[in-house]
Structure 1
């Protein structure tokens, strides 16, 4: 007997239907250690907001060398508290710790602020960290046409 490509899925469905499907229990994974723990229902203009305790925890983790936590603090300060000056310090910390997208963001900020030396420095760091578009940005900054 030859099984056609259409008959195989139908045969599998028939077997599954006859044996019954068991429910596989869902067990959510715990949040990663630097994952943000948002307060339930706390948001500002539709943006989830960290509690003060969580913000302090993220700052502590960042000061201990966690680049993702530094970026979390930057994003919170910039998007929720609209504190660009303080947020930039955390973006620089994240970049110094090796966060590739933070480095690329600083390169973009350098371009926007007409600071080509800073833009090139951060673009080169982003390229070294493996950021996907950083090599193209470095080329365009090194060879402006």
Structure 2
């Protein structure tokens, strides 16, 4: 391969890029209403923590019907505060609101606790919500070998 066959196309690209492009100013978009706003330096063993203010904001959003916020509260309580009992209440709320990963998690919990009726109920809800692996789980629960 000749050097001129590489240099010429690169030079053409540089010329075209510099000729017709104008600078577009970058402005970051604000966080979505249900996105978590972490405080700088609020970490616990590498896990980002929500501030008390943010946790309250997420709880209010969830109580208003926001399924993502309910799941955010569940994850915070489960991973940061290790409060499984309270976290499960928020997981159930998220699932009731239609959050497919929460529904799938509850199906997995039902399997772990050997509650096949609960596992099947939540797996079917997750499948109806479009969760990727829920159909396989429903099939395995309906047709145990």
TM-score (norm 2): 0.89
* Post-superposition offset of 1:21: 6.0
Match of 2:116 in 1: 116
Aligned Cα RMSD in Å?
1.9
Q: For structure 2, which runs of at least 5 residues remain unmatched after alignment?
A: 1-5
Match of 1:105 in 2: 105
- Residue aligned with 2:39, SS: strand
The yes-or-no answer on 1:38 pairing with 2:54 is no
* Post-superposition offset of 1:15: 2.8
Structure 1 segments of 4+ aligned residues over 6 angstroms from their partners: none
| Equivalent-residue separation in structure 2 for 1:46 and 1:22 (angstroms) | 41
| Equivalent-residue separation in structure 2 for 1:75 and 1:58 (angstroms) | 11
Q: For structure 1, which runs of at least 5 residues remain unmatched after alignment?
A: 1-5
Per-residue CA deviation, residues 3-59 of structure 1 (Å, 9 max, x unaligned), is xxx766652323334x38654322111100111111111111111111111101100
Match of 2:13 in 1: 12
Aligned residues: 140
Match of 1:66 in 2: 66
TM-score (norm 1): 0.89
Match of 1:56 in 2: 56
* Post-superposition offset of 1:114: 0.6
The yes-or-no answer on 1:91 pairing with 2:59 is no
